[in-house]
Amino acid sequence: MKKSDRKIVYDKYDGHCAYCGCELQKGWHVDELFPVCRNFKYNKEKTKFVHDGTCKYPERLHIDNQMPSCPSCNINKHSLSLEGFRLLIQNFIISLNRDSTQYKIAKRYGLIYEIDKPVIFYFEQKLK
Ligand SMILES: [Zn+2]
């Protein structure tokens, strides 16, 4: 990606992650809002799957579809749709209550207060 295009993506939300709204730090990611679904192949030498340079929807590799993202949001969203990503985050409360002893104890001691509200992404708030 050209440095000038990266700057355009960075400026879309004034240096904030389009999803969580945090200020972007060095090493921020460019996410595709509508996922490109990169193809991976198993590399025996590296003993892991590596991107093979192709993707299912190459037409989505366009600046209009690219969002500035913090690494955490980009990695968690991976190839999910926006609604899939929203559902993933909404379900974090379910998995924390089911799987995290530390979360459950902190909640019991009143250190965590859950709020039933929809997940609204930073760029969606900016649209209002
Ligand atoms: Zn983020």
pLDDT digits (tens, 9 = 90+) for 32-79: 999 988 888 898 999 988 888 888 888 988 999 999 999 999 999 998
Say how many Å lie between the CA of residue 119 and the centre of ligand 1: 13
Say how many Å lie between the CA of residue 21 and the centre of ligand 1: 6
Say how many Å lie between the CA of residue 74 and the centre of ligand 1: 7
Given this model, what pLDDT does residue 58 score? Answer: 87
Say how many Å lie between the CA of residue 22 and the centre of ligand 1: 6
Q: Crossing angle, helix 101-108 and helix 92-99, to 10 degrees?
A: 90
Given this model, what pLDDT does residue 64 score? Answer: 96
- 22 neighbors 62 (Cβ within 8 angstroms): no
Say how many Å lie between the CA of residue 77 and the centre of ligand 1: 10
- Close Cβ partners of 72 (under 8 Å, ≥ 6 residues apart): 20
24 half-sphere exposure, CB direction, 13 A CA radius: 27
DSSP state of 12: T
Q: Does pLDDT of 128 surpass 80?
A: no
Given this model, what pLDDT does residue 40 score? Answer: 86
Q: What is the pTM of this model?
A: 0.85
- pLDDT, mean of residues 22-30: 97
DSSP state of 24: P
